[in-house]
Amino acid sequence: MIDLDAIKGRANSAYLLDRDDGDALERAMGDVKTLLAEVERLRHDVADLQLQREQNIIDNMHAFQEGGHKERAAVVAWLRGGAGLGGGEPAEEWDDVWVAARDIERGEHRRGEER
């Protein structure tokens, strides 16, 4: 890590020095090179963070979609299992429940939404 306070101090004192002071100019050029290298390093860090952010967004979208598919499968299984209606009859006997399970499984309940 660079010492910004030291660079600021040298920059401020350079104005007070004689313009013919070669050492002050050499130090100032060294500071400029150091600052440019730091800016370049930070640019790379920002680019890496932006790529990581984009990948995290994609990963989150996939996880959200996967969770939706799992929930849909659980609802369909629950409906086909009788939807908690009791009785010993299988879900096929309750046509409306069976049709609802089929429609949900196909995604028809989402109407105009993207499936």
- For 90, residues 6+ apart whose C-beta sits below 8 A from its C-beta are 82
Can you give the residue ranges of every domain in the chain? Answer: 4-110
pLDDT of residue 50: 96
Span 106-113, average pLDDT: 68
Span 81-86, average pLDDT: 63
107 or 54: which leads in pLDDT: 54
pLDDT of residue 113: 58
Rounded Cα gap, residues 10 and 13, in angstroms: 5
Span 100-111, average pLDDT: 74
54 exposure class (CB count in 10 Å sphere: 0-12, 13-18, 19+): exposed
Query: Does pLDDT of 101 surpass 90?
Result: no
- For 78, residues 6+ apart whose C-beta sits below 8 A from its C-beta are 84
pLDDT of residue 53: 96
Rounded Cα gap, residues 40 and 56, in angstroms: 24
pLDDT of residue 69: 84
Query: Does pLDDT of 52 surpass 90?
Result: yes
